[in-house]
């Protein structure tokens, strides 16, 4: 019995190690290549630890492409989208959870049903509309659409589910004390909903930071590009400078990884809690 | 808020429906053509190939993703030391940019000197030109896509597995059930709701594959990896055939709608905590 237990544990560790190695390999290879001399990028046998280490790749990337602009675009767009989504969907989520109004159930169901509309369907008329009012090659669609689009709907859903679970008595007590709806919302409900809001913040930021389809449609001006779009254009050009592309990729990935390692427990639990993606 | 959603979701949805019934060029007047676009789709050889590719992608990705995620979740839901580390490592790609992930894998699968082929060469094997071979390109995209999102389903399974009451395992042990029997008789039935949900969500997600195709193959070689969303994007935003592209998008919508209705119809089987 004990030996079989040990063998099974060994098998489990072996399987996990293999999968983890495969998962880590792209990251290792990315970092390794980002520090190589151009001539050594495809050298055989592959060098995991480059010699010499060429730090200047990073500095060069910043000169070749307006990398600081892509960075700034990604950061400020994701920040605005996150702030907007959390603000609007917590308000709407609260309303759906607590304020009874005529047809609220039906409206909520309709709202939920929009979650299955593929972005590609509404993207076409939305593109024409944005072109009509002159928002092509601006960041407006990248900020407004996620807040009121599928991301926002998801936010309302998450927040509503959370608010519903909070006992009503808490509010009733406050109401007797003469608190207004808004006051109850800001000083009682919102602080209680912190875990849900935190999950929503991470999700929304991540989705916006990694978004590709919308920037591809709306942005063609180089200085307005976000990181994923800018990086993808690299691979189109004949004769990719892999060492530069990899250092750019490292720079695009690093902030997320740092945040993740600090917030991983909360984040993974958040995924499990909401049980949905996107 | 609701008004915002109405304006930005329902109106474009209806607009897209109308557009799908027109010939809508980049410039010039839109012309109402009724169901002509849909008839054209039915006779569009490229569409059927693209649809086939899309189902190929889904048929490859979904079972691989679900089985592997469940297999990994089993030990990771337990209490052996070091599981937190593995969980984190397997989850990291989920939050990485799909574009960066695809770029790096494209580079690792490069023909002459990519990491994979160099590795094979070590064993005396000359690797194929993975992404330039019409039979291999799709499997490569499938495998790298599985690795990208594996962690998501894994975490959902871990959460489900940890909610299975310990007494059930205890009872199975007392009855002398082995590991395999316990898995199929106790574990699997107890997590069917999560299993069902993840399968449907993964299918829907796989039908919308785009970014990795755009980066790794651009739909090639000879259209072997051209999927539905790529085709829609090409028609709409490269060729500016907005009417035809809208009809294609509605076909995608119809497929997803059908899947969602199936999910809705069977919801009693998996919804345990509503409202």
**Average pLDDT estimate for A21-26:** 93
In B, minimum Cα distance to A213 occurs at B211
Q: Is B22 in a helix, a strand, or coil?
A: strand
How many Å lie between the alpha carbon of A125 and the closest alpha carbon of chain B? 6
pLDDT tens-place string over residues B196-243: 889 988 999 999 999 999 999 998 899 999 999 999 999 999 999 999
Mutate to test the interface with A, among B99, B237, B238 (most CBs of A within 10 A): B99
Confidence of residue A45 (pLDDT cuts 50, 70, 90): low
Measured in whole angstroms, how far is the alpha carbon of residue B189 from the centre of its chain?
24
Interface predicted TM-score of the whole assembly (ipTM), two decimals: 0.86
Of residues B108 and A182, which shows the higher confidence score? B108
Q: Is B71 on the interface with A (CB under 8 A)?
A: yes
Indicate whether B251 pLDDT > 90: yes
Indicate whether A104 pLDDT > 80: no
Round to whole Å and give the CA distance between A210 and A137. Answer: 18
Round to whole Å and give the CA distance between B98 and B104. Answer: 10
Of residues B69 and B180, which shows the higher confidence score? B69
Confidence of residue A4 (pLDDT cuts 50, 70, 90): low
Q: Would the CB atoms of A253 and B19 count as touching at under 8 Å?
A: no
**Average pLDDT estimate for B150-165:** 90
Round to whole Å and give the CA distance between B209 and B197. Answer: 19
Q: Would the CB atoms of B106 and A245 count as touching at under 8 Å?
A: no
Structure tokens at A117: 């509309």
Q: What is the pLDDT of residue B65?
A: 96
Indicate whether A100 pLDDT > 80: no
Alpha helices in B96-136 (DSSP H): 98-108, 115-122
The pLDDT > 70 percentage for chain A reads: 93
How many Å lie between the alpha carbon of A178 and the closest alpha carbon of chain B? 27
Mean of pLDDT over chain B: 87
Residue A45, burial from CB neighbour count under 10 angstroms (0-12, 13-18, 19+): exposed
pTM of the full predicted structure? 0.89
């Amino acid at each position: 019995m004990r030996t079989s237990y040990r063998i099974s544990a060994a098998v489990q560790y072996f399987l996990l190690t293999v999968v983890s190695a495969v998962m880590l390999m792209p990251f290792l290879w990315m970092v390794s290549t980002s520090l190589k001399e151009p001539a050594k990028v495809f050298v055989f046998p592959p060098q995991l630890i480059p010699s010499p280490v060429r730090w200047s790749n990073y500095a060069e990337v910043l000169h070749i492409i307006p990398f600081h602009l892509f960075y700034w675009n990604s950061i400020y767009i994701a920040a605005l989208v996150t702030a907007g989504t959390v603000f609007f969907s917590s308000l709407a989520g609260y309303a759906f959870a607590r304020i009874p109004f005529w047809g609220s159930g039906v409206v909520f169901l309709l709202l939920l049903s929009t979650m299955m509309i593929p972005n590609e369907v509404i993207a076409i008329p939305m593109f024409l509309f944005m072109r009509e009012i002159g928002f092509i090659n601006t960041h407006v669609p990248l900020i407004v659409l996620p807040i009121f689009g599928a991301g926002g709907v998801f936010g309302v859903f998450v927040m509503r589910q959370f608010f519903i679970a909070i006992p009503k008595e808490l509010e009733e007590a406050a109401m007797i004390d003469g608190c207004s709806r808004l006051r109850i919302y800001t000083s009682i409900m919102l602080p209680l909903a912190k875990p849900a809001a935190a999950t929503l913040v991470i999700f929304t930021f991540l989705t916006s930071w990694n978004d590709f389809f919308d920037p591809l449609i709306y942005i063609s001006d180089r200085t307005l590009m976000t990181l994923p779009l800018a990086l993808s254009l690299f691979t189109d050009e004949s004769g990719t400078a892999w060492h530069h592309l990899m250092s750019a990729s490292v720079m695009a990935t690093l902030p997320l990884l740092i945040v993740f390692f600090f917030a991983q427990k909360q984040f993974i639990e958040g995924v499990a809690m909401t049980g949905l993606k996107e | 808020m609701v008004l915002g959603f109405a304006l930005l979701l329902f109106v474009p949805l209806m607009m897209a429906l109308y557009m799908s019934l027109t010939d809508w060029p980049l410039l010039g007047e839109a012309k109402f053509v009724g169901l002509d676009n849909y008839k054209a789709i039915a006779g569009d050889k490229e569409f059927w190939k693209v649809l086939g590719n899309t189902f190929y992608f889904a048929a490859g990705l979904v079972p691989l993703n679900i089985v592997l995620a469940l297999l990994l979740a089993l030990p990771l839901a337990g209490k052996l030391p070091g599981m937190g580390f593995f969980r984190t490592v397997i989850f990291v790609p989920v939050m990485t940019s799909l574009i960066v992930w695809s770029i790096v894998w494209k580079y690792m699968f490069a023909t002459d000197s990519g990491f994979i082929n160099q590795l094979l060469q070590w064993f005396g094997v000359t690797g194929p030109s993975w992404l330039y071979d019409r039979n291999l390109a799709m499997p490569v995209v499938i495998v790298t896509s599985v690795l990208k999102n594996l962690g998501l389903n894994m975490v959902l399974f871990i959460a489900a597995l940890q909610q299975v009451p310990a007494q059930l395992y205890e009872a199975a042990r007392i009855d002398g059930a082995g590991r395999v029997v316990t898995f199929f008789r106790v574990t699997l039935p107890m997590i069917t709701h999560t299993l069902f949900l993840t399968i449907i969500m993964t299918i829907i997600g796989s039908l919308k594959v785009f970014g990795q195709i755009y980066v790794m193959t651009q739909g090639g070689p000879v259209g072997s990896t051209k999927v539905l969303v790529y085709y829609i994007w090409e028609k709409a935003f490269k060729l500016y055939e907005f009417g035809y592209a809208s009809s294609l998008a509605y076909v995608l919508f119809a497929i997803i709608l059908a899947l969602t209705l199936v999910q809705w119809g069977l919801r009693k089987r998996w919804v345990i905590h509503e409202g």
